Amino acid sequence: MKKNVLHQGARGRGLGCAVGVGGDADEGGLSQQCNVQSFDVSLYYTLPPILGHEEEEDVLSQERHIYVPDNVVPKPPLVVVIHSCESSGERYFRNNKIPWQKGSDKKGYITIWPSSPNSGGCWDVSSPRSLKNLGGGDSQAIANMIVHGISKYGGDPARVYVTGGSSGGMMSNVMAATYPYLIKAVSLYSGVPAGCFVSSSGGVAQWNNSCSGGQSRATPEAWGNVVRNMYPGYSGPRPKMQVWHGSADGTLAPQNYQETIKQWTNVFGYTQTPVSSIKNFPERNYQTDNYGDLLQGIYGTGVGHSVPSNLTASEAWFGL
């Protein structure tokens, strides 16, 4: 199959370009070749996430996108930006409320924009495949995009970061649990604990009313065991976690923030009491609670679903 060529429209570079083999350019017509590449999700399901693996780059489609800014730095950091339901990598990239292209252009890091292959655009955070290291689900597809970014673009394997909102926030949590060795830090917005959406039937991308409504509650140890059981026997480093949520979230109840904090305090061996708290930071009506070097919770009073991305605070958490 012929390799995709993405062309830049008059309105700018990136995923605003046409995608797909033989596809027409979007508004503005064709100009120079775009610096974004796209990949078929099915290809990445077949590849184990082992650094240095050579992917078959001639099997390409519109399901995965990588944005390389013109001023990319040597050995660039990688930021994986995971979209919400009813969206895609391309639409998320175009959304001016999602600030990561601006950050990439300013600081020279590479961004990866996965697209969910599931009906409705939600990520599979419910099936055994996705809730297991090397299970072959959506989480492994994203893991392999990380590997590709490192191999293809000389990305720094020690500086890989993950962020996302709503369903993308849920998948960010799942990525931290299933592929901890690939990720340095996570900044997730308006999600749920890893494994909270698990489907009793094993269904892919299933909605879980108990979890979304905040009725799925457990002890910190029980939640911590959910993370540990996604990669049994793993004893290496885990990504540091920044968790955002709003008190007025009517889609994923605010209780999910508390359950997520329970989960990661247990994983890191922290107590449930913050070691420090800062009111009205990083913005008015937000409170930042620090539980240790590896865990930070940021809770917005009066903030609904989903919490707006805060590029400055997330980049600071990542060290970018």
Residues known to be catalytic: 166
Nearest one of 161, 175, 41 to 100, comparing CA atoms: 161
- Please give the structure tokens belonging to residue 82: 């995971």
Distance CA 300, CA 285 (A): 6
Q: Are 19 and 94 in contact (CB under 8 A)?
A: no
- Please give the structure tokens belonging to residue 53: 């693996």
Distance CA 142, CA 168 (A): 11
Q: Are 133 and 231 in contact (CB under 8 A)?
A: yes
Find the helix packing angle between 220-230 and 167-178, rounded to 10°. Answer: 70
Nearest one of 150, 183, 135 to 66, comparing CA atoms: 150
Q: Are 54 and 152 in contact (CB under 8 A)?
A: no
Residues with Cβ within 8 Å of residue 242, at least 6 apart in sequence: 185, 186, 187, 188, 295, 296, 297, 298, 313, 314, 317
Distance CA 311, CA 291 (A): 21
- Is the bond preceding residue 282 a cis peptide, omega within 30 degrees? yes
DSSP string computed for 9-64? BTTBSGGGS--STTPPP-TT---SBPSEEEE-HHHHHTS---TT----TTS--SSE
